[in-house]
Structure 1
């Protein structure tokens, strides 16, 4: 256990990485341009202090935070109380707050804090939530939805999520970016008070520091193209630069003045060369003369640390608790009367029944004539394909925020992708089950005998397997594709391929070459489509359907018992003698001879079982897929 008074030291830290954006192919092959980003960076900070890392864009501020957080490899020493700070130790005791952090929509401020992943729970956590909300001036918006917060409130809430974990070091990437002066002052003053109250060492980056935040910064580090121009207490800043010939003019903002002094001037070639020489000289001077300043401690009056600080919340919660908290998060975001909750509930429960109601309106007047074979096959096809596509739509719209939050929290070591997917499935499966069974009930009266409850249950289960399969397919694609529209297009394109190939409706299997016919065996659609058609067309009502009210098909009566192929009688309008003949035409190979009901391909239990095997198999595959390490250029785009 680290005491309430501790020191973080960076000694001669170097870091190399990508210095220019590269194309997807370049990043995939590792051909991006790399270089030294941080050069011999050294500084010290203590508990209860606020340290600002200042520098222009490209100076290495974010890279320095990543190095301290052990997110990227580096050379040199990063020591916490004299012990090397490793990534697991950082994840258990410290926190990194990204500028682009996204919270789950639909939750209130208090719910977001209460459902954060911590070791403490119950009364202790409730008290901690109230304390953090008061410290961050969020008590008055406790019941406000996160999507309705101002920029300042949103940033403070993100900070609060990490303060609840009681970190000993808190790294903040541009916490005041794009805030107005008043809110910038508010955020920095709150951070300063939190550092003193909780004994936390806060390190933040700023690109345009204002003069009114000067009193709240205990230490400052100036970076220029990875070099340190100054690192030490802010109270020594003016004296140091004055001693080397760069006094700050009166009425100037010293933070901004010395930031400009440490920035390369690119307005002309001459100024670029001159400023480069000046900065190189400043870097060398600090290496020679700034060591005493860098090691200097603040006096005890300016650095007050809470001696009674008790760190109860280190480390991550247990695996079961993580899954439970993720599960509760999702339920809370759904079961509320806020806009996002109503949207989720509607999409999960109403989209599919509404689509099936539209199908019922179009197909309800269909009568039992010969054309019923094609009509009801078309209804089955539309029901199956609509289930696929609505599942894709719902998953693309609803899973995205949880995926983004996962990629941010998983970097902190809080949980794995398998935990996220297990929680998602625990929430999603009951909703999809209810929605699918309600939808099937709407149209089953058109295609079957509603009194045959077991046949209806089988029909609904087959549609449910389609929903689950498309959902899991979408989740797999969304692991790599960030943009929702692109992910939807990819999913629909893939779905269209196996629907056209294996549904048996758009094209009969008899028209396939042998190799193409066998490919249908590796698609979910084959088994679901055969099951749905077999479930419907086994009914006696399909035996010798008339062509119209006045024209029967009696001439094909003698074929009912033996027909497993196309009827070729003189009445060309009466194509099928029974459901068996229709199934034989649509779902058997061109060389098939015999009774389809004596083949395993048309066994109801077999096809339903294989349909669910595809869905469950893809579910398990996704859990392993989300455990795979991905290249940083893929995971970073989800976090940003």
Structure 2
């Protein structure tokens, strides 16, 4: 099933970048340390071949033997013609910048065009320079960590991967990939219940479903037991032969039983190439330079130890570093013939690959990708499994449950003077509940999809605007159903069901508040990774707005002028004004309410004087007088002054919600710094 002959070639690649972690402030001011990560790396891999990129951090033992030939290379000095001692000391200073990295992941990032930093040299696919667009269309990258959406089965994860295939062809491809990766028996199992080996194979399947010609894998066997390590590598070898894919994978500790599946190997030490070429030619090369592999030894691990810096003491560090420098120079001189060799028959290099094999095939349409993402989100939400039921509860039942508790608390409410304070608490709890439930739901549900978006955006599948549109298309209808159910529970304390339009207005107002809080939290989560920090920040903003703008906890007329005018820029002002008018202008509050069952205020002279109302027990004449106390700054009638005008308040409440949606769409169009995006993909 090899569709064509593809060759990935790196020629004298140098890459400079960040060599130690830096804080956000250091990234901004540019004070992080940088250095050369890859140094004159050249390699080649063909269709149907598997190449292992090896490099270690700590060597378990030290070689005491050295060949005379290597000693002569070392004594000749480095390319800068300095003495061995000076060259070693200079190298030590460079190693202090990057004491642990061998350059394996940096190599994959350079090939995939994801590396941030200056790159010199050539990266060619069939003789054409590898661009980001070419890699995204024709190649695949299985990262070390991949966050899949919970609630989806293995088959659904593969089927909802955006590709140009649709319908029956895509279903057939999914079944074929599952069979090739030994996942058919767990096709109906959710991702959160997969073993580590099954999860890794599913990550590989997500890329294989796209038919890549080059597949990069970052530590696919990390933390797997020997049996599953053998299984994964053997599956990759079979896939490379079946699909004609050139596979490049990094490994930390290669086992001897995977040796037959590797056609090529690349040894890196601190960015330098110690050897690259066929695995079987590797034995011939090291034997020729005086390092034959002992019998019954794992050659992959033996030469990995040979090309690793020994850090157990300064003397061993200097000696092993000196030896590796000699090996690097030796391979530059004599490794040209081995670099192109392989354990399989090499294809004809003289053919014009660029003209005969198309490298840019186009992408699926935005509508097709959007529909696939929407169907995936909907399937993850409407799922009768653990993660799906959790999402359904949060989206549909959490808010009605909170309002049911409010109903149980306020159902004994009596029409006495203290009902003004009680009903104020009802309005506050209605608003605070819908705001805070929206924040909690967003914090618990959105980050998973956000992380998956940032990971898939590296593949060029879709952008932030399309992601938000599809997420809102799923989330907003669920929020409407939830708010409608909650409103039906609490509305008897606000109005009468006989007026259907008023009840509809009540639902729409709470829905607009829910959408605003949800979109506000999503905006914060775009730049804040930690869920708890984002939740605290969003709740803090909401509490400030409720305190200052709603007129519930503090009278608006008592605010300073600058705070009073600032309240016009908050949604809570208009939402609270609508609810306050709805509650306090009801027919039950149009008259002077009794103080209690024993004291009636109807016959008391409730005339306001300079010192207040004559009767201290009967403070409020009616609901309208109560609203004037909360809102009026110049003793005007708040009902007819426009402050509590219903259509105006509900219109602005919805305007804030729609404005927040548009703001988020605009924000996701802005390019974020690579350092910010990277932390969301982890």
TM-score, L = length of structure 2: 0.89
Partner of 1:327: 374
For residues 242 and 517 of structure 1, do their structure 2 counterparts lie closer, same or farther at Cα, with a shift above 3 Å needed? same
After the TM superposition, which of the residue ranges 425-434 and 531-540 deviates more from structure 2? 531-540
Please give the per-residue CA displacement for 1:373-398, whole angstroms capped at 9, x wherever unaligned. Answer: 11111101011101111111111111
CA distance in 1, matches of 2:239, 2:327: 33
Work out the CA distance in 2 between the residues paired with 1:493 and 1:54: 49
The equivalent residue for 1:19 is 19
Query: Can you list the C-alpha shifts for 1:243-270, whole angstroms capped at 9, x where unaligned?
Result: 1111111111110111111111000000
Give distance in 2, aligned partners of 1:533 and 1:323. 41
Residues 195-222 of structure 1 show CA distances to partners (whole Å, capped at 9, x for unaligned) of 0000011111011111110110111110
Q: Note the C-alpha offset of 1:314.
A: 5.0
- Asked if the contact 1:208/1:256 (under 8 Å) is kept, the reply is yes
The aligned counterpart of 2:671 is 629
Which whole-Å CA distance do the structure 1 matches of 2:359 and 2:126 have between them? 19
Query: Which 5+ residue runs of structure 2 have no aligned equivalent?
Result: 58-100, 349-355
Q: Distance between the aligned counterparts of 2:375 and 2:433, measured in 1?
A: 30
Question: Is the contact made by 1:230 and 1:286 (CA closer than 8 Å) also made in structure 2?
Answer: yes
Q: Sort the Cα spacing of 1:556 and 1:87 in 2 relative to 1 into closer, same or farther, 3 A.
A: farther
The answer to whether residue 209 in structure 2 is matched with residue 164 in structure 1 is yes
Structure 2 residue 336 is matched with structure 1 residue 291: yes
Contact kept? 1:166, 1:311, Cα under 8 Å: no
Equivalent pair of 2:606/2:615 in contact (CA under 8 Å): no
Residue aligning to 2:238: 193
1:606 maps onto 2:648 in alignment: yes
Q: Which shows bigger deviation, 201-210 or 528-537?
A: 528-537
Q: 1:312 to 1:225 in 2, by over 3 A?
A: closer
User: Which of 593, 598, 601 in structure 2 is aligned with 1:550?
Assistant: 598
Q: CA deviation at 1:154?
A: 0.4
Q: How does 1:285-434 map to 2 (within 5 A)?
A: 285-300=330-345, 315-434=362-481
When structure 1 is superposed on structure 2, of 449-458 and 461-470 the one drifting more is 449-458
Residues 1:121 and 2:166 aligned together: yes
Distance 1:579 1:370 in 2: 10
| Counterpart residue number, 2:93 | none
Measure the CA separation in 1 of the matches of 2:284 and 2:435. Answer: 69
Q: SS in structure 1 opposite 2:497? A: coil
Residues 125-204 of structure 1 mapped to structure 2, 5 A cutoff: 125-204=170-249
Matched, 1:225 2:275: no
Q: How many residues align?
A: 629
Moved more, 533-542 or 130-139: 533-542
Q: Which moved more, 1:453-462 or 1:431-440?
A: 453-462
Contact kept? 2:264, 2:343, Cα under 8 Å? no
Q: Return the alpha-carbon distance in structure 2 between the equivalents of residues 75 and 371 of structure 1.
A: 77
Output one character per residue of 1:148-192: Cα deviation in whole Å (capped at 9) or x when no partner: 111110000110011010011111000000000000000000000
Distance 2:605 2:148 in 1: 67
1-structure distance, mates of 2:103, 2:305: 16
Task: Please give the per-residue CA displacement for 1:576-611, whole angstroms capped at 9, x wherever unaligned.
Answer: 22222111211233xx23222232322111111111
Deviation at 1:274, TM superposition (A): 0.2
Structure 2 residue matching 1:48: 3-state secondary structure: coil
Instruction: Give, in angstroms, the shift of residue 496 of structure 1.
Output: 1.4
Q: In the alignment, which of 614, 619, 624 is matched to residue 570 of structure 1?
A: 614
Structure 1, 502-511 or 260-269: larger mean CA deviation: 502-511
Measured in 2, the distance between the counterparts of 1:67 and 1:14 equals 10
- Please name the residue that 1:306 is paired with: none
Task: Normalising by structure 1, report the TM-score.
Answer: 0.95
- Would the aligned equivalents of 1:417 and 1:626 in 2 still touch at CA under 8 Å? yes
Name 2:623's counterpart in structure 1: 579
Q: Distance in 2 between matches of 1:557 and 1:420?
A: 63
Q: Secondary structure at the match of 1:598?
A: coil
Q: Does 1:69 align with 2:112?
A: yes
Answer whether contact 1:14 1:38 (CA < 8 A) is retained.
yes
Q: Residues of 2 paired with 1:193 and 1:557: CA distance?
A: 95
> For the Cα contact (< 8 Å) 1:108–1:143, is it kept in 2?
yes
| Local SS of the residue matching 1:628 | coil
Write out aligned runs for 1:451-530 (5 A): 451-530=498-577
Residue 567 of structure 1 contacts residue 577 of structure 1 at CA under 8 Å; is this kept in 2?
no
Matched residues in 2 for 1:143 and 1:500: separation? 50
**Regions of 4+ moved over 6 Å:** 309-313, 556-559
Separation of aligned partners in 2, 1:22 and 1:623: 30
Query: SS state of the match for residue 271, structure 1?
Result: helix
Please state how far the C-alpha of 1:315 moved relative to its aligned partner: 4.2
2:581 matched to 1:534? Answer: yes
For residue 557 of structure 1, report the CA deviation from its aligned partner. 7.6
| Deviation readout 1:218-250 (Å, 9 max, x if unpaired) | 111100001111111111011101111111111
Shift of 1:16: 1.0
- In the TM superposition, what is the alpha-carbon distance from 1:571 to its structure 2 partner? 1.0
CA contact under 8 A between 2:53 and 2:267: conserved in structure 1? yes
Q: Match of 2:280? A: 235
Equivalent of 1:109 in 154, 164, 182: 154
2:77 equivalent in structure 1: none
CA distance in 1, matches of 2:304, 2:44: 20
**Are the counterparts in 1 of residues 606 and 618 from structure 2 also a CA contact under 8 Å?**
no
Name 1:56's counterpart in structure 2.
56
Q: Could you report, residue by residue, the CA deviation over 1:471-496 in whole angstroms, capped at 9, with x for unpaired residues?
A: 00111111112222222112112211
- Residue 282 of structure 2 aligns to a residue whose secondary structure is helix
With over 3 angstroms needed to count, the CA separation of the structure-2 counterparts of 1:155 and 1:502, relative to structure 1, is same
What do you get for the CA RMSD once the two structures are aligned?
2.1
Using the alignment, how far apart are the partners of 1:103 and 1:567 within structure 2? 67
Match of 1:442 among 480, 489, 495: 489
Q: 1:570 to 1:140 in 2, by over 3 A?
A: same
